[in-house]
Chain A
């Protein structure tokens, strides 16, 4: 059974960097694409980007200048860094696995990150 778990600070100050890690169990991080999605207060879902085994990453152009994703195969984890955050980045952040054709088939429970001084 594949499980994903987000971890990282729940409170980030404006202009600082939001950093989250997703720990994967039951599947290898070296297979599949691994995505980050966020859900804003109005319930809108926004795809942030995805990474495949550190070989390639695709980012949402709306966030591309501020986003970096990476993987750590030794820990079976992947990470998200979002720089220069503002209150508009306050959201529930989810990590998820993408399976070809089958969509985002497994999600973490989500973590609320608040940007505030």
Chain B
């Protein structure tokens, strides 16, 4: 299985800040990396797919980059609705695997 390692596991930030979450794969997954946002009691929602493509309806302050084994999710100008848990997921090969999550909290 491909292991996905996210960092940090938790992050405190303020409205208006810019934050970056990283995800590392245990082997190359080319660009098959997706980012999900999950709020309490809700299902995950894809925000970035294929490493850098913005899902329809997601604000442009979300961006993704990377290829191979190292990826980043950046959120600029944090808004109150962005505070949530974020997961990366590789869709390069089955079994698909997720990172352990990053809990983005309000400072």
Contact = CB atoms under 8 A, between A and B. Distances in A.
Interface of B is mostly: loop
Interface of A is mostly: strand
A76 interface: no
Contacts of A103: 34, 36, 46, 49-50, 89, 91
Most chain B beta carbons < 10 A, residue from A35, A58, A103, A105: A103
Interface string A16-33: 000000000000000000
A101 interface: yes
A103 B1 CA distance: 18
B43 A110 contact: yes
A110 B45 CA distance: 12
Contacts, number: 65
Contact of A104 (B1, B34, B94, B101): B34
A108 B1 CA distance: 25
A35 B36 CA distance: 16
Interface string A93-114: 0101010011111011110000
A34 B96 CA distance: 13
The bracket for how many chain A residues form the interface is 20 to 34
Interface stretch (A7-15, A42-50, A82-90): A42-50
A35 B94 CA distance: 11
Contacts of A98: 91
B76 interface: no
A73 interface: no
A107 B44 contact: yes
16 contacts: A44-B100, A44-B101, A45-B101, A49-B94, A50-B94, A58-B94, A94-B43, A94-B44, A101-B53, A101-B91, A102-B34, A102-B46, A103-B34, A103-B36, A103-B50, A103-B91
Interface of A: 35, 43-47, 49-50, 58-62, 94, 96, 98, 101-105, 107-110
